[in-house]
Every structure is written in C-alpha cells, then in structure tokens.
Amino acid sequence: MEDMILYNRLQFAFTITFHYLFPQLTMGLSLMIVYFKWMSMRTKNPDYNHAAKFWMKIFALNFAMGVVTGIPMEFQFGTNWAKFSELTGGIVGQTLAMEGMFSFFLESSFLGMFIFGEKLLGQRLHFLAGLMVFLGSWASGYLIIATHSWMQHPVGYEILENGKFVLTNFAALFKNPWLWPSYLHNQAGSLITSSFFVSAVGAFYILSDKHRTFGKIFLKSGVIFGVIASIVVAFPTGDLAAKNVVKYQPATFAAMEGIFETERGGAEIVLVGQPDMVNKKLDNKISVPNILSFLTYQRWDAEIKGLNEFDERVHPTNVPGLYYAYHIMAGLGTIFIAIMLTAAFLLVRKKLYQSNWLLWILMFSIPFPYIANTAGWYTAELGRQPWLVYNLMRMTSGVSPTVSSGNTLFTLLGFVGLYILLGLLFLLLVLKIIRKGPEPILAH
C-alpha cells in the first residue's frame, strides 16, 4: 500500500510539475500581449503590433504543450485516484468541468482568431480577440485554483452516509476565503515568469545587437510588469495567503517556518536553517528576532504556535520538504524584487540598455521564476499532506485500490521518457522563434 501511494504521488507530482511549466508562462504572457496590442493602437507604432504577434507564437506553442500535458492529469483522477474522484467528484467536478467547457474553449477559439484573423478582423476586433484569450487564460487559472482551494479549505459541502461529498452551496465555492488570495498570488507569480522571460529575450537581442528596437520594447515592458508583479506577489497577495495558512492550517504554518516549539513573546523569522527531525529543531539557523510575529499578527510580541502544540498525526507528512520549498519560494521572490527594482531604477535613469551586467543577469534569470513557482505549488501541496481534502480525507482513502504499484511505476517511467522528448522539442521550437525574431520593420 505504501509503495502504491508513493508511486501514485510521484506520478502526479511529476506530470503536474511538468504541465505547469507552460500555463505559468501563458497566463502572464496573455496580459502582456494585450498590452502590446493596445500600445500598437494607441501609439500607431507597428513595432508593438509585431511584438504582440511574435509573443503570440510563443504563447500558442506553450498553450499546445499545456493541453498535451494537462490531459493525462485528468485521466489520473480516474486511474490513480479513483476513490477520491468517486467521493468528491460531485464538488471538484463542478469547477473542473467549468474550466474545460468555458475558459478552455474561450481561450482556444479566440487564440485561432488572433493568430490567423488580423486582416479579416481589423485592429479593434483583433485586440478584442487577444483580450478574450487573456480572459480565458485567467478564468482557467481561477477555476483550477477554486478546485484546489476547496481541497485546502473545504466549504459548502455535506458528507452523505456512503462517504460521498455533495455540494450544498454552489456560491460557497467562489466565496471560499482561501480562493482569492491564492488566485491573485498565483497570477502574480505567473506574471513574474512572463516578465522575466520577455525581459530576457529583450536583453539577448540588445547584447547580441540583433532586433535592437524590439529588444528595447521587450526589456522595458518586461521590467515594468516585472517590478509590479514581484512586489504584488509578496505583498499583499503573499501576505494574505500566509495569513490564511496561519488561520486554517496552523500546523502547516509552523512547519513552513521551521517552528518546532511554541514561541512566546515574539517569534523570529528564519532566513537560513536545516530541520533536524530527530531533535525537533533547526540547525545552523540565521534569524531575525520578532519579525515573524509582526508580519503575522502586526505585534512584535505575538505568540506563534509550534509543531509541539499539534498531534503528530496531523503534522505535514514531509516537514523538511515543506520547509525548503517555502524558503526557496520566498528567497527567490526577494531576489526578484531586488533585480526588478534595480532594472526599473536604471530604466528611469535611461541607463538600462547600456548596463550589460544587468542584461546578463536578466538573461540568465529565466529558470528561476519557474523554480519559484514550482516551489510555491510544492509548498501548498506538501502543506496539505497527509490530507487530500484538508482534515476530511486522508491520502490513503483516495487512491485506486485496483491499480498496482508496478503499473504506476511503469507508466511513470513512460511519462518521464515522453516528457523529456516533448520538452526538448519545445525548447528547439522556442529557440527557433527567438532566433528568427519578430517580423522586421524596413525602417529599422
């Protein structure tokens, strides 16, 4: 049983981690494409229109990869997690079906119109098509996170005698206090990924002295969006999301921060440390006194409960994994703020395009927003363990009893091999698009 659960978790973790590499770029990029299209209409500068069409090519490729890698996850609900689907399908099926029927079709339909219909539609309707792609993309994220939020903080439900969950209040799904902070935090993280990606391509064009006009447009736009998103992801969205964890999952919060013993009279915030699960303490820690209490309760002397206050049966399953995932996310988020604030300062001073040292930093920063977003999702998922539905359904109650561990391991290895090939193909195609660059303007 333990092997089966482990392989089921590994398979879902791998497939969803690989899948989310693509939506996190498309959601943020859709907003930036709308911005480029709007700027082309506002300024009458055709460079912005070519910028919009250039990034829509990369958006479309990401979208296709997201669809291909997302479908197997839907099947895993029925194959690997059939009991979970049977018992909670009446609730999670609502939002997942809405995501597929409404937002996915909205996004995909108008994506085709944006890519192929500019001459037929005209500039205003072409802009509207891009706007619909953006709305569909963000609505998709909203409905997925509504599902996830119910699993983190279940609301509006009733459990029948046969153990099935039924929805008693449809509106409660969308009034869930967990939903909006999580959604806005996630979207800000997505915008960070797209901002760094766009900035990095702009930096590459300037450093290589190719497509310099577009390089400047990409760099300026990426930095503007990036400095806003990197701040918003920390405050207020990150702050609100963390306060939800404090309120509804206090044991998870203690594990995230590495607090084993309750801290009275002010809790320190740990910058660096390694959890020692045998002795229930942090080794080699570097911390700042009282900051965690202030950030959490706006009081320097507020008490923060430690893991010692909670029954070990409700402790997160993997405390070190949760602790490291959270600190990787938070640490990288802090670095993103520093990079983007520096770039924004140089942009205002009209020195950004000549600051090669920062252009190199931006260009090689592409992987780190992906790492930070992945660590953020690991924080949310590891924090909920050992529950599938927090405080109501454990992991062991949701797996498929008829799927053997051998079958799961075999298909996991198949996914790994196939996704490596898909990933390499994706990288080759994206690099080909970037190398070709936007359609040239004769005047430049």
- pLDDT digit string, tens, across residues 99-121: 988 888 899 899 999 999 999 99
Token couple for 120: 């037929």
Is-contact 71 20, C-beta < 8 A? no
Q: What is the pLDDT of residues 153-178, one digit of tens each?
A: 999 999 999 999 999 999 999 999 99
Within 10 angstroms of residue 311's Cβ, the number of other Cβ atoms is 7
Is-contact 83 397, C-beta < 8 A? yes
Structural domain count of the chain: 1
User: Is residue 377, in this structure, part of any structural domain at all?
Assistant: yes
Side chain identity at residue 352, one-letter code: L
- Give percent of the chain with pLDDT exceeding 70: 99
Return d(Cα 440, Cα 373) in angstroms, integer. 34
- Average predicted confidence (pLDDT) for the chain: 94
User: Is residue 395, in this structure, part of any structural domain at all?
Assistant: yes
Output the pLDDT for position 1: 59
User: Is residue 300, in this structure, part of any structural domain at all?
Assistant: no
Output the pLDDT for position 313: 87
- Give percent of the chain with pLDDT exceeding 90: 88
User: Is residue 279, in this structure, part of any structural domain at all?
Assistant: no
Output the pLDDT for position 5: 87
Higher pLDDT, 72 or 338: 338
Higher pLDDT, 441 or 437: 437
269 pLDDT tier (thresholds 50, 70, 90): very high
Return d(Cα 137, Cα 139) in angstroms, integer. 6
Q: Looking at the predicted structure, is the pLDDT value of residue 397 above 70?
A: yes
Q: What is the pLDDT of residues 297-340, one digit of tens each?
A: 999 999 999 999 999 888 999 999 999 999 999 999 999 999 99
Tell which residue, 69, 4, 1, has the closest CA to residue 420: 69
Q: Looking at the predicted structure, is the pLDDT value of residue 245 above 50?
A: yes
User: Is residue 190, in this structure, part of any structural domain at all?
Assistant: yes
444 pLDDT tier (thresholds 50, 70, 90): very low
Specify the pTM.
Answer: 0.95
Output the pLDDT for position 440: 59
Output the pLDDT for position 3: 80
Which residue is it, tokens 């990401």?
A: 62
Q: Looking at the predicted structure, is the pLDDT value of residue 135 above 50?
A: yes
Q: Looking at the predicted structure, is the pLDDT value of residue 441 above 60?
A: no
Output the pLDDT for position 418: 95
User: Is residue 286, in this structure, part of any structural domain at all?
Assistant: no
User: Is residue 288, in this structure, part of any structural domain at all?
Assistant: no
String of DSSP letters for 330-361: HHHHHHHHHHHHHHHHHHHTT-GGG-HHHHHH
Q: Looking at the predicted structure, is the pLDDT value of residue 443 above 50?
A: no
User: Is residue 296, in this structure, part of any structural domain at all?
Assistant: no
Residues spanned by the domain of 101: 2-262+305-436
Range of lowest pLDDT (233-242, 358-367, 402-411, 412-421):
402-411
Q: Looking at the predicted structure, is the pLDDT value of residue 181 above 60?
A: yes
